[in-house]
Amino acid sequence: MPTKKKWTRRSFIESTFVTSVTSRAGLATVSSVVPAVGRSQEELPELPGFDQTQRLDFISMLDEIIPAADGMPAASEVDVDRYVATLFTQDQGLIEAFESGLDFLREKATERHGQSFSDLNSDQRIELLEQLEATDPASFRKVRGAVYEGYYTRPQIWHLVGYQPHPTNSEGPVMEPFDENSLERVRRLPKLYRDV
Amino acid sequence: MPVENPDVVVIGAGAAGAALTWRLSEHGAKVVCLEQGDWVNPIDYPSQYSDFEARMLRGGDFSLSPNVRRRPEDYPVSVANNGGFRPSISMFNAVGGTTIHWQAHFPRFHPSDFRVKSLDGVADDWPLTYQDLEPYYNLNDRMMGVSGLHGDPANPPRIPRATPPLPVGRYGDTLIRGYEKMGWHWWVADQAIISRAYDGRPPCLLHGKCMYGCPIGSKASTDRTYWPKALANGAILETWARSREVMVDSRGRVRGVLYYDRDGILQEQPGKIVVVCCNGVGTPRLLLNSKSRYFPDGLANSNGMVGRNFMVHPTRFVEGIFRETLDGHIGPFGAPLYSQEFYETDLSRGFVRGYTMVSGRTYGPLAHSRQVPWGANHHLEMARHFPHTAGIAALCEDLPNENNRIDLDPDLTDSHGIPAPRVTYTLGDNTTQMLEHGAARATEVLKAAGATEVRDARGNANMAHLMGTARMGIDPRRSVVNPANQAHDVGNLFIVDGSSFVTSAGVNPTSTIGALALRAADGIWERRGEWN
């Protein structure tokens, strides 16, 4: 079993900084595409404390919670993984929820299928995620909430779901003025309040 | 630093404290206000950023709950678990108070709301009338800037609104269709959001993020309405000033306020008059923490009534899903329209008093997604919900009950070690009946409007309305303040906010809080000969 370090918010931030500097300095390992998630090693999120298997499982987990379907991208396709990694710097409880969830998925995937979670097919992954949700609903709710947050705060998703963001410095939407004629019937109602 | 020789010390710079300070400063009083929070820079409003929903919903720094937000200026509030409904306590601690992130609904009480005992045999009458308060409602409307339309048959005639109604959009038109089919009352809402330029503030641009902070100031928050005028009059506003207790002198009269300044140093601000405006939870907390030889159970609490009769406006949210594309996420967040078809008492409904059906607009996609399952059907379900929902909240009158109360938590304190408030609350049978009735009627409207699916969105909830814990009355044995908002026990202590409400009515309270504050300020000024 890979060793796993328990991360505090401080150690996570410090480690993220080191990893980031190392990466920018060109010290990253040689690129190779990871078939399970369709990304190169360098494109996997920087998740200090998460080993390679956990990072792959992490992506797979996100993409089963919000998959690519019906013309919409999967979570990781709009960088939800990086968004969640940012949340890790603010929320120790969220790190713990993901860690325990990923531990559960890895253990069950190995036990039942002899594979890592990310190497399972979609049906198998969903089955394990449903088990996780039933076993530890509080942690799963936290995980799900973070994934949804990462997804639905993305401007490209707003466009796809029909949300008009109208930023502060814009003129705003055009809306028809209120039509007072629509109150014609109500105006004729008898007084509804009680005189005192 | 404490101010030398002020006439009046006001504690709290929200809806009440701002209005009261301005009015007193207009009269010429020397006023200093202590506020535990700071000014909020509009650049920090979540509405300016793409994670605006997360900062309120996930538990960020703009959460409605101080327990979640946990800013340095916040204090914790515990809620006793008695096995039933537990109200959520929402407030904002800053210059402007909760008006920073309110929805700006601006209804008034009905005349009958001040006479509930006489008319309906429950609770107590207010010791004042709608007519007593009407000129102050009008003044408060002018100061805050209101959009809307006069002529509503469910309310007494009122002066024309400062600006025309805001657009109701497809969302509002859909709900109107429902109300019209039912043949029920509805009216376009009064909102403290201006639809045209007014008093130096620009008109609403309909961005739809009112609750995340209005950076342009079209939504009235008292940091943009009352405070600039009060400061121009010479009022002094001390921010990061957390009041620990109100001090009394050897005669049992208030002599000033003990507070922690921004450096955490304990200071005493003297004053001839002290006015507590800390909301329905913060006010009883401060009074109960102000113990002395004269008031061993807390200031103004000789009858044990401080903290009792806590009311919150229990609410039921019902949501309809429509085939057509709606626009609930744009336009002013507050209610485009409301119905008071079931506001006045009709005992055939199975309860006394009544409720308003409020049709507030919807949040953005993140809030909607919370109701949508994860996995393969996620996108189809999301597409069915957003932007296709419209909701109605049945906002119910909460009758006073002495056992619903605020006291001090024996263990919990704020960052200065000051004991935190504790809420004990039980939903009353009358309110429960009213909630069920409201949910059923809201369902009927949504179905009549064409909803393909209607669901009771959140079960019983409550509004961010904190009322009743230092109630007004003529009888000193059963109330804390008199009709002038003056403490029965202490002649130079006034309590002016939702805590002085005798009953809650079935509408949002802020316009009434502002009107009461303006009226109380006039009363304080008229009796200035008694200040020393």
A123 touches chain B (CB under 8 A): no
ipTM of the complex: 0.92
Torsion A58-A64-A69-A71 (CA) sign = negative
CB B442 within 8 A of CB B451: no
What is the per-residue pLDDT for A21? 33
Strand partners, B308: B405
DSSP B104-140: -B-----GGGG-HHHHHSSS---SS-HHHHHHHHHHH
Identify the domain containing residue A133 by its residue range.
Answer: 9-164
Is residue A20's pLDDT more than 70? no
Report yes or no on A181 lying in a domain.
no
CB–CB contact B168 A151 (8 Å): no
The residue that leads in pLDDT, B427 or B49, is B427
Higher per-residue confidence, B50 vs B71: B71
Q: pLDDT at position B293, please?
A: 94
Task: Give residue A39's pLDDT.
Answer: 62
Pick the closest to residue B148 from B102, B208, B110, B198 (CA basis): B198
CB-defined contacts A:B, below 8 A: 162
Decide if A153 touches B, using CB distance below 8 A.
Answer: yes
Q: How far apart are the first and last CA of chain B?
A: 23
Instruction: Determine which of A23-27, A161-165, B68-72, B460-464 has the lowest per-residue pLDDT on average.
Output: A23-27
The pLDDT tens digits for A89-105 are 888 899 999 999 999 99
Q: How far apart are CA B323 and CA B162, in angstroms?
A: 36
**Residue A184 sits at the chain B interface (C-beta within 8 Å):** no
pLDDT of B155 > 90? The answer is yes
The pairing of beta strand B355-359 with beta strand B389-396: antiparallel
Which of A84, A151, A163 to mutate to test binding with chain B, by most B CBs within 10 Å of its CB? A163
Residue B97 distance to chain A (closest CA, Å): 22
| Interface check A162 vs B, CB under 8 A | yes
Over the stretch B106-128, which tens digit does the pLDDT of each residue have? 999 999 999 999 999 999 999 99
Residue A196 included in any domain: no
The mean per-residue pLDDT over the stretch B155-163 comes to: 94
Q: Is the pLDDT of residue A2 over 90?
A: no
pTM comes to 0.91
Q: Estimate the crossing angle of helix B429-448 against helix B169-182, to 10 degrees.
A: 100
What is the domain count for chain A? 1
A186–B325 CB contact, under 8 Å: no
Contacts of A125 in chain B (CB under 8 A): none
Interface touch B114/A196, C-beta < 8 Å: yes
The CATH class, in words, for B8-531 is: alpha beta
Cβ under 8 Å to B: A residues 62-101 = 64-67, 69-72
Query: In this predicted structure, what is the pLDDT of residue A48?
Result: 67
pLDDT value at B458 more than 60: yes
Entry field: residues in chain A: 196
For B177-188, how does the pLDDT look when each residue is reduced to its tens digit (9 = 90+)? 999 999 999 999
CA atoms within 13 A on the CB side of A75: 29
Q: Across the interface, do B119 and A196 touch by the CB < 8 Å criterion?
A: yes
Residues of A in contact with B207 (CB under 8 A): 166-168, 170, 172-173
Contact criterion met (CB < 8 Å) for B383 and A70? yes
**Contact assessment for residue B70 and residue B14, using Cβ atoms and an 8 Å cutoff:** no
pLDDT in the model for residue A37: 56
The verdict on A49 touching B (C-beta cutoff 8 Å) is no
Q: Which two tokens stand for residue B451?
A: 């909803």
Q: Is A145 on the interface with B (CB under 8 A)?
A: yes
Q: What is the pLDDT of residues A96-130, one digit of tens each?
A: 999 999 999 999 999 999 999 999 999 999 999 99
Rounded to the nearest 10 degrees, the angle between the axes of helix A52-65 and helix A122-135 is 90
